[in-house]
Chain A
Amino acid sequence: MSNFQEEDDEDYYLPLQDQRVFGAGIRRKRVPFVRSSEHELSTINPARPSTIPPGPSIADTYLSIVLKTKNNSTAPSTPTDHEVSAPVRSTHSAPPTSEAISPPPPAPTSKTQPLDHCEICNLPISSEPGSDTNTDTSTSRPHEASLAHQVCLQHSHPPSHLDRTRAGLRYLSNYGWDPDSRLGLGATGREGILEPLKGRIKRDTAGLGTGLDADGDRLRVAPPPPKKKVEKLNAKQARKGAVEARKRGEKLRKMFFQNDEVLKYLGEDA
Chain B
Amino acid sequence: MVDRRSDSEDGARAKRQKMDAGDPKDNPYLAHLYEDTNGADKSSALAKFKRHQTTAALAKKAEDGDVNPFSGQPFSTKYFSILKSRRDLPVHAQRDEFLQLYQQSQILVFVGETGSGKTTQIPQFVLFDDLPQTQRKMVACTQPRRVAAMSVAQRVAEEMDVKLGEEVGYSIRFEDKTSSKTILKYMTDGMLLREAMHDHNLSRYSTIMLDEAHERTMATDVLMGLLKEVVQRRPDLKIIIMSATLDAQKFQRYFMDAPLLAVPGRTHPVEVFYTPEPEQDYVEAAIRTVLQIHATEDEGDILVFLTGEEEIEDAARKISMEGDEMVREADAGPLKVYPLYGSLPPHMQQRIFDPAPPPLRKGGRPGRKVIISTNIAETSLTIDGIVYVVDPGFSKQKIYNPRIRVESLLVSPISKASAQQRAGRAGRTRPGKCFRLYTEEAFKKELIEQTYPEILRSNLSSTVLELKKLGIDDLVHFDLMDPPAPETLMRALEELNYLACLDDDGNLTQLGRLASDFPLDPALAVMLISSPEFYCSNEILSITALLSVPQLFVRPNSQRKRADEMKNLFAHQDGDHLTMLNVYHAFKSPEAQANPKQWCHDHFLSLRSLQSADNVRMQLLRIMERSELEMISTPFEDKKYYENIRRALCAGFFMQVAKKESQGKSVYTTVKDNQNVLLHPSTVLAHDAEWVLYNEFVLTTKNYIRTVTAVKPEWLLDIAPTYYEPSSFPKGDMQSALLRARDRLARKEKMRAEKRR
Contact = CB atoms under 8 A, between A and B. Distances in A.
Interface residues of B, number: 61
Nearest to B408: A199
A210 interface: yes
Given A167-B494, A192-B482, A201 B278 contact: no
Interface stretch (B282-290, B644-652, B745-753): B282-290
Contact of A186 (B394, B483, B504): B483
B26 interface: no
Interface in A182-233: 184-188, 190-203, 205-210, 213-214, 220
Contacts of A196: 400-403, 456, 484-485, 487-488
B264 to A, nearest CB: 30
Contacts of B45: none
B486 A177 contact: yes
Contact of B493 (A167, A203, A209): A167
Contact of B485 (A176, A190, A193, A210): A193
B664 to A, nearest CB: 12
B483 A191 contact: yes
Contacts of A194: 485-486
A203 B411 CA distance: 9
Nearest to B699: A201
A265 interface: no
A195 B401 CA distance: 10
A207 B476 CA distance: 40
Given A168-B490, A207-B280, A192 B483 contact: yes
Interface string A93-115: 00000000000000000000000
A152 interface: no
Interface stretch (B73-81, B106-114, B433-441): B433-441
A226 B682 CA distance: 43
A209 B283 contact: no
A179 to B, nearest CB: 7
B413 interface: yes
Interface in B483-541: 483-494, 497, 504, 506
B281 interface: yes
B412 A200 contact: yes
24 contacts: A168-B490, A168-B492, A169-B490, A175-B476, A175-B477, A177-B486, A186-B480, A187-B478, A192-B484, A193-B456, A193-B483, A193-B484, A196-B401, A197-B452, A197-B456, A199-B397, A202-B411, A207-B281, A207-B393, A207-B438, A208-B393, A208-B446, A209-B438, A214-B446
A186 B477 contact: yes
Contacts of A201: 410, 699-701
A193 to B, nearest CB: 5
Interface residues of A, number: 40
B474 interface: yes
Interface in B373-419: 392-394, 397, 399-403, 408, 410-413
B410 A205 contact: no
Given A186-B483, A192-B482, A199-B401, A176 B506 contact: no
B479 interface: yes
B438 A185 contact: no
A175 to B, nearest CB: 4
A205 B283 contact: yes
Nearest to A214: B446
A186 B480 CA distance: 6
Contacts of A202: 394, 410-412
Contacts of A236: none
* For the complex of A and B, 6 pairs with smallest distance between CB atoms: A168-B490, A192-B483, A207-B279, A186-B483, A209-B278, A209-B442
A89 B587 CA distance: 65
Nearest to B254: A190
A191 B484 CA distance: 9
| Most chain A CB inside 10 Å of its own CB: which residue of B401, B438, B490, B506 | B490
Contact of B399 (A162, A177, A197): A197
A51 interface: no
A219 B570 CA distance: 50
B469 interface: no
A195 B485 contact: yes
A171 interface: yes
Contacts of B393: 207-208
Interface in B32-65: none
B483 A185 contact: yes
B686 interface: no
Given A192-B483, A206-B279, 9 more contacts: A167-B494, A172-B475, A185-B486, A186-B480, A192-B456, A197-B457, A206-B281, A207-B279, A208-B438
A166 interface: yes
A103 to B, nearest CB: 33
Given A172-B475, A187-B477, A199-B410, A210 B486 contact: no
Contacts of A184: 483, 485-486
Given A207-B285, A207-B438, A190 B479 contact: yes
Contacts of A197: 399, 452, 456-457, 485
A167 to B, nearest CB: 5
Interface string A148-172: 0000000000000010001111011
A134 interface: no
B438 A199 contact: no
A174 interface: yes
Interface in B550-594: none
A183 B392 CA distance: 36
B372 to A, nearest CB: 15
A11 B331 CA distance: 72
Contacts of B280: 206-207, 210
Contacts of B489: 168, 172, 185
A106 to B, nearest CB: 36
Nearest to B413: A208
Interface string B696-712: 00011100000000000
A167 B498 CA distance: 10
| Most chain B CB inside 10 Å of its own CB: which residue of A177, A179, A191, A214 | A177
Given A202-B412, A205-B282, A166 B494 contact: yes
Contacts of B278: 207-210, 220
Nearest to A260: B663
Contact of A205 (B284, B475, B701): B284
B226 to A, nearest CB: 13
